[in-house]
Amino acid sequence: MLRTSVIIVVFCALFLSAGAGLYAQKKSKVHIKHADAFRYDEKRGKNIQMLIGQVVMRQDSTYFYCDSAFLNDRTNSFEAFGKVHIDVNDTVDLYGDRLYYDGKTKVAELFEKVKLVDKNTVLTTEHLVYNRRTQIAFYDVGGHIVNQDNTLTSERGYYDTKSRIFYFRKDVVLKNPDSETYSDTLTYNTNNETAYFHGPTVIRGEESTIYCEEGWYDTKNDLSKLVERPSISNAGQTISADSLIYDNLSYFGRAYGHVQIHDTVRNVFIRGRLGEMWDDKGVSYITDSAVAVTYDEHDSLFIHADTMWIHFDKNRDAKSLFAYNNVRFYRSDFQGKCDSLAYSMSDSTIKMYNDPTLWSKQNQLTADSIFIVTASNRIDSLIMFNTAFIISSDTIDSYNQIKGKNMVGYFRNNEIYKIAVDGNAQTVYYIREEDGYLIGINVAESSTMEIRFKDSEINNLSYQNQATENMYPEVDLPTEQRQLKGFTWQLEARPKDKWDIFRRLSDEEEAVEENDPANASEK
């Protein structure tokens, strides 16, 4: 509230004409230009004249009109009654039922049915004080201002007739055909029809509500800039940022710093540091540390990418999300990475493209593309297209592997329990006793294959077509045959927590990954 207090002090100083220099100016008398009758009332004092009927007085270039008045020659002041009119200059006129005017300070105080008219602006109130020296008007019993299509009301207000700027305080309401604005403190420039907010402010439109604690709103061009905790809300969504610019005519907005889109219908948060929105097209994008969070009562999924695009339906509910470049995501029971990702809110399907990798418990899944179907924010099934590959670590330097053209995986409680392999199915599987003793290494090939899992580990393999299957003692299977073609183990790339999705592999980590003996078959 410091800024508000400073503004009040400045206006009060101007209004009260603080400083003796103003009184050092050349004094001017109030002159009588016309009255139908002159009377003298001894009870009111010897210096007082009573003017009756079509009274006209002047001081400098300002004219005063009324039905009757009491003029005090000694104090250079008067009281006026009935149809009071002050012709200040070519543009400013004041009206009221009663007036007290001090010719020394040049301050006019009007009462009852007061009206100030200035070009396209009309102010009405029941009590107004106008200082001719500073050209500032003040009211404190409630005022009503009409400017073009805008109507403003407030408990207190100042109006600088030189700059044509209003300063409103307490219970401020600004209405126009498109919106209603409620504020604690507001400055309004009648020249450019722009309102400036200096406190908690709410702007209500037909479809959205805007909140901020500092900013401006160009009512003529329907353009607003909001800072200090700004947000835009509708029935199912809230957008907030450090600052927001929104053009109601083009339905375009731009957000800067700590940008957040919260869709309460789909339970989705989308965050970043820079965002843009096209409401008429139902499209928004967010970038710079962009992250999307989908949540339920069980867990949350965190998705990061360089840039995210969000598409909305006509009700402004999030419909789909597209993430591009360096996509990484984390949830406590599965993680992933890819170059681009599409997430459909309507059917809860995640589609991963360009070098996708998915981790579920100890299993690493890769393919040309991976489609994940979720239900109740849990993985229900997935489809792996072309060069599908599943790897799980058996020991430090041995890996169970499943490879095929396409795969369909089935999950229960976010844990894989069955895989169907279609086309060129291959496996390398380390068979052990319950105590961990290695029985042998199973190597199998078939056109189709079904793998059953128990506790995310291979438990059973079955074939629908004739298969080639061999069990090798560990010493009899050459090292180079223990890894299927295309094998790559990406342990370093796996996100470790929700913060790790922002990490990019350093040159050193990438070098370690490339030189890892587990990936030697790639070379």
Sequence length of the chain is 523
517 confidence band (pLDDT: 50, 70, 90): very low
CA dist., res. 321 & res. 312, Å (int): 9
| pLDDT higher than 50, residue 22 | no
Residue 510, classed as helix, strand or coil, is helix
394-423 in b/e form (b: 16+ CB < 10 A) is beeebbbbbbbbbbbbebeebbbbebbbee
Flag whether pLDDT at 512 surpasses 50.
no
Q: Which of 294, 299, 253 is nearest to 270 (CA)?
A: 294
Range ranked top by mean pLDDT from 103-112, 257-266, 268-277, 278-287: 103-112
17-41 average pLDDT score: 71
Read off the pLDDT of residues 393-448 as tens digits, 9 standing for 90 and up. Answer: 887 788 999 999 999 999 888 788 899 999 889 999 898 887 888 899 989 899 99
What is the distance between the alpha carbons of residues 483 and 397, in angstroms, rounded to a whole number?
11
The pLDDT-based confidence of 54 (bands split at 50, 70, 90) is very high
pLDDT at 150: 87
- pLDDT of 36 > 90? The answer is yes
- State mean pLDDT over 22-38: 78
Q: 403 CB contacts (<8 Å, ≥6 apart)?
A: 387, 388, 389, 390, 424, 425, 426, 427, 484, 485, 486
Residue 521 scores a pLDDT above 60: no
Residue 520 predicted with pLDDT over 50? no
- C-alpha to C-alpha distance for 146 and 413, rounded to whole angstroms: 63
Cβ neighbors of 10 (< 8 A, separation 6 or more) are none
Average pLDDT over residues 206-234: 85
Class for the domain spanning 360-470: mainly beta
CB atoms closer than 10 angstroms to residue 310: 25
> Residue 139: beta bridge partners?
157
pLDDT in tens, 360-401: 888 899 999 999 988 776 788 999 999 999 998 887 788 999
How high is the pLDDT of residue 506?
58
Q: Band of the pLDDT at 26, cuts 50, 70, 90?
A: low
For the domain spanning 30-138, the CATH number is 2.60.450.10
Q: What was the pLDDT predicted at 505? A: 62
Residues 6+ apart with CB under 8 A from 487: 389, 391, 399, 401, 518, 519, 521, 522
Residue of 252, 250, 228, 251 whose CA lies nearest to 241 = 228
| Residues 64-99: tens digit of each pLDDT | 999 999 999 899 999 999 999 999 988 899 999 999
Arithmetic mean of pLDDT, 237-256: 86
| Mean per-residue pLDDT over the chain, rounded | 85
Give the Cα separation of 449 and 453 in Å (integer).
13
Dmax over CA atoms of the chain, in Å, equals 133
In sign, the C-alpha dihedral spanning 180, 185, 191, 194 is negative
User: What sign does the dihedral 514-516-519-522 (CA atoms) show?
Assistant: positive
User: At 11, phi and psi to the nearest 5?
Assistant: -65, -40
Q: Is 253 exposed, middle or buried (0-12, 13-18, 19+ CB in 10 A)?
A: buried
For the chain, residues classed under CATH 2.60.450.10 are 30-138
